[in-house]
Amino acid sequence: MIRNIGLFIGMAVLFATVVLILNQLLPGPRKPTDYLVIGGAATMACLLAFFVVLIGTTMRSSDIFFRKKK
- Evaluate whether residue 63 is within a structural domain: no
- Evaluate whether residue 48 is within a structural domain: yes
Residue pair 28/13 in contact (Cβ under 8 Å)? The answer is: no
Question: Cα separation of 6 and 61, whole Å?
Answer: 24
**Residue-number span of the structural domain to which 29 is assigned:** 2-58
- Evaluate whether residue 9 is within a structural domain: yes
Question: Cα separation of 19 and 11, whole Å?
Answer: 12
Question: Cα separation of 31 and 17, whole Å?
Answer: 21
pLDDT by residue (tens digit) across 17-54?
A: 999 999 999 888 989 999 999 999 999 999 999 998 88
Tally of domains within the chain: 1
pLDDT value at residue 60: 64
Of 13, 22, 14, the closest CA to residue 45 belongs to 14
- Evaluate whether residue 66 is within a structural domain: no
pLDDT value at residue 53: 86
